[in-house]
């Protein structure tokens, strides 16, 4: 039954809006909507106020570094410790639909069994009004591995820990098309930055 608990932990909250439903113009509010930059700032505010050790990664981290890429969710890597896990779960339980509340009381919410995507614990997808993907690792890199590349940006009065430009390629080593495209953009931005030195 451990696998069932892991499945429930991975998919906390509402289902993602399917491409078929989106194409059909279904406006059913039982589905999540794409996250906005305001949502990313709100998530960061909740996590910061709760004292969570985290870093913003993914599409919004790219945007924070001046690389524009469309994204539909907020991606964060958190320190995977019992105390920190309790803090992020409590913080994200304050999102509009309270989807993370189902994880309350969990010290070790991340699946520990190997999955089809690799041999490390996977992410937990919080499908609230919008989706937040919470990860203990990104491309095998933990919060501690990424921490030397964390820069704190002040956005709307919130100090948001985000991967800096030099750290952005580290969790983008996958073979997904969007990771490959992101790496190209990051490499171009780094080259421009070096030319400016």
Instruction: Specify the range with the lowest mean pLDDT, choosing from 21-35, 53-67, 126-140.
Output: 21-35
Instruction: Assign 29 a pLDDT band (cuts: 50, 70, 90).
Output: very low
- Rounded CA gap, 152 and 167, in Å? 13
Query: From the CB of residue 24, how many other CB atoms can be counted at a distance below 10 Å?
Result: 9
Q: Look at residue 25 and tell me if it is in a domain.
A: no
Mean pLDDT taken over the chain: 76
Structural domain count, the chain: 1
* Collapsed DSSP state (helix, strand, coil) of residue 191: helix
Q: What is the spatial distance between Cα 118 and Cα 96, in angstroms, rounded to a whole number?
A: 32
Residue 60 CA: distances (Å) to CA of 5, 81, 147: 29, 24, 17
The pLDDT > 70 percentage for the chain reads 64
Which tens digit of pLDDT belongs to each residue from 92-120? Answer: 999 999 999 999 999 999 876 554 444 44
113-154 pLDDT, tens digit per residue, is 554 444 445 789 999 999 999 999 887 889 999 999 999 988
CB neighbours of 5 closer than 8 A, spacing ≥ 6? none
**Domain carrying residue 46:** 2-15+31-196
Is 46 domain-assigned?
Answer: yes
3-state helix, strand, coil in the chain (%, to 5): 40, 20, 40
Per the domain annotation, does 86 fall within a domain?
yes
Which is higher by pLDDT, 28 or 164? 164
User: What confidence score (pLDDT) does residue 14 get?
Assistant: 45
b/e per residue 135-167 (b: at least 16 CB within 10 A): bbbbbebbbebbbebbbebebeebebbbbbbeb
Q: How far apart are CA 181 and CA 189, in angstroms?
A: 13
Residue with tokens 């709307």: 156
pLDDT single digits (tens) 177-193:
655 555 566 566 556 65
**What is the number of other CB atoms lying within 10 angstroms of the CB of residue 112?**
11
In a domain, 96, yes or no: yes
| Domain of residue 86, CATH code | 3.30.460.40
Does 22 fall in a domain? no
The pLDDT-based confidence of 17 (bands split at 50, 70, 90) is very low
Helix (H) and strand (E) counts in the chain: 7, 9
**Distance from C-alpha of 40 to C-alpha of 46, rounded to nearest angstrom:** 10
> What length is written for the chain?
197
Residue 189, token pair as written in the block: 């931005």
Residue 160 placed within a domain: yes
Is there a domain that residue 98 lies in?
yes
Rg of the chain's alpha carbons, rounded to an integer? 17
């Amino acid at each position: 039954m451990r696998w069932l608990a892991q499945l429930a932990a991975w998919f906390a909250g509402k289902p993602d809006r399917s491409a078929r439903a989106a194409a059909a113009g279904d406006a059913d509010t039982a589905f999540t909507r794409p996250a906005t930059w305001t949502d990313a700032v709100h998530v960061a505010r909740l996590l910061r106020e709760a004292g969570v050790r985290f870093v913003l990664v993914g599409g919004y981290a790219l945007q924070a570094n001046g690389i524009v890429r469309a994204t539909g969710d907020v991606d964060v890597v958190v320190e995977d410790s019992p105390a920190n896990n309790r803090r992020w779960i409590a913080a994200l339980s304050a999102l509009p639909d309270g989807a993370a509340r189902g994880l309350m009381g969990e010290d070790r919410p991340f699946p520990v069994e190997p999955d089809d995507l690799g041999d490390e614990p996977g992410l937990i997808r919080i499908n609230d009004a919008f989706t937040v993907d919470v990860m203990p690792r990104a491309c095998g890199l933990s919060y501690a591995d990424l921490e030397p590349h964390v820069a704190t940006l002040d956005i709307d009065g919130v100090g948001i820990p985000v991967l800096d430009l030099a750290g952005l390629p580290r969790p983008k080593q996958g073979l997904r098309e969007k990771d490959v495209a992101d790496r190209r953009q990051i490499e171009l931005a780094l080259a421009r930055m070096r030319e400016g030195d």
